[in-house]
Structure 1
Amino acid sequence: MAGVAVGALALTFSTSVPTASAHGWTNAPISRAKYCQAGTAQNCGNIQWEPQSVEGPKGFPNGGPADGKLCSAGIGAFAPLDDQRGGGWPTNNLRSGQSYTFKWHFTAMHSTTDFRYYITKNGWNSNAPLTRGALELNPFLTVPFSGRPPADISHSGTLPGGKSGRHMILSVWTIADTGNAFYQCSDVNF
């Protein structure tokens, strides 16, 4: 009987506590998930302990998380990432058209297909959750990658020209040997 009680307690514990299976986040531009983990952004929910775990179906933009849930990858526990907070998220200050070094930090190095970066269209509604309709669906930077990345990786690219004011960059790390990708939203100001 004691074994059954312990098993039930373990099952309850394992289903009510988020897993910390680990993966990765963007450091440049700094993502909402990382700002939450660092304490720079408040009232973030579980993402503050798991900035590396924003994992959802791959195949963006044809597949992937549903519109309005792109920043959380559709994970209910990470839903605060989808809230635009009336522009209250910390921003990364950038210059339109500048060369930029994008950086990821990984806690588990998965076999990788590529890294893709998308940006919001001029005139997007920054008060509404992020949707495909708000994004330029051709990535402004695609970095093919074969194999497992190191714990920290950088790659250079050029930010889109003709941007001013507040925008969002959606970074997608596509995993080669699973059906998933990792999604990171970074608020930027040009």
Structure 2
Amino acid sequence: MALRRRIAALAAGVLAAPLVVVALPTAPAFAHGYVSSPPSRQAQCAKGTVPCGSIKYEPQSVEGPKGLRTCHGGNAGFAELNNDSKGWKVTNVGRSVTFNWVFTARHRTANYEYYVGGQRVGYVDGKMQQPPSTVSHTVNLGNVSGKQKVLAIWNIGDTSNAFYACIDVNVS
């Protein structure tokens, strides 16, 4: 009789396990991606180069709806990334710049876009593929010179969102 109860309990556990797993809440994804070099504004926050709020702990989380043209991706908690007078360190570059992305959650990628002064200067097709943990793109910034703010956008292929990063450069 005890053996039957054990077998019945084991069978019930085996049958219930998939239901328990499906019913458990999933943890939100707090990690995604950002431009690490030249150092984006959120990379500067993470390294403590510029004092920032919570973005210091989440440089990879500047996510918002596709189509925005802001440094903070519409996330009010990261609004300080839009503050051009915050003391962001500027990287000296030539007209052609290699941007390095670091990913902590690798979404399928629709594309990457790069903007200077509201004009798109770079586009890379992501081919709806999942990127490796790092990706580099070399972008020609065109005929701009002097201090510029580059907006880099990673448009996700499997959600309606994108990730945003602003990089301050001095083009010579």
TM range (shorter): 0.7 to 0.9
Aligned to 1:116: 113
- TM-superposed deviation, 1:79: 1.2
Unaligned runs of 5+ in 2: 1-27
Aligned to 1:31: 40
Structure number with larger C-alpha Rg: 2
Runs of 4+ in 1 over 6 A off after TM superposition: none
Q: Please provide the CA RMSD for this pair.
A: 1.5
Residues 73-92 of structure 1: pairs in structure 2 closer than 5 A:
73-85=73-85, 88-92=87-91
TM-superposed CA distance for 1:56, in Å, is 0.5
Q: 1:48 aligns with which of 46, 56, 76?
A: 56
- Normalised by the length of structure 2, the TM-score is 0.78
- Stretches of structure 1 that go unaligned for 5 or more consecutive residues are 1-18, 121-134
Q: 1:22: how far off?
A: 0.3
Alignment: residue pair count = 143
Shift of 1:20: 6.3
Inter-partner Cα distance in structure 2 for 1:151 and 1:157: 20
Alignment partners' CA distance in 2, 1:35 and 1:52: 12
Q: TM-score, structure 1 length as denominator? A: 0.71
Mapped contact 2:40–2:165 kept (Cα < 8 A): yes
Change in 2 beyond 3 A, CA 1:179/1:23: same
Q: Percent identity among equivalent residues?
A: 43
What displacement does 1:164 show?
A: 2.2
Letter aligned with residue 174 of structure 1: N
- The CA distance in 2 between the partners of 1:85 and 1:156, in whole Å, is 27
Question: What aligned pairs does 1:1-190 form with structure 2 within 5 A after superposition?
Answer: 21-42=30-51, 44-58=52-66, 60=67, 64=68, 70-85=70-85, 88-95=87-94, 97=95, 99-120=96-117, 135-136=118-119, 139-146=120-127, 147-161=129-143, 163-190=144-171
Q: Which amino acid aligns with 1:90?
A: K
Q: State the secondary structure of the residue aligned to 1:35.
A: helix
Contact (CA 8 Å) 1:20, 1:50: kept in 2 or not? no
Say if 1:35 and 1:41, in contact at 8 Å, map to a contact too: yes
Post-superposition Cα deviations, 1:134-157, rounded to whole Å, max 9, x if no partner, equal x22xx2110001210000111223
- Partner SS state of residue 105, structure 2: coil
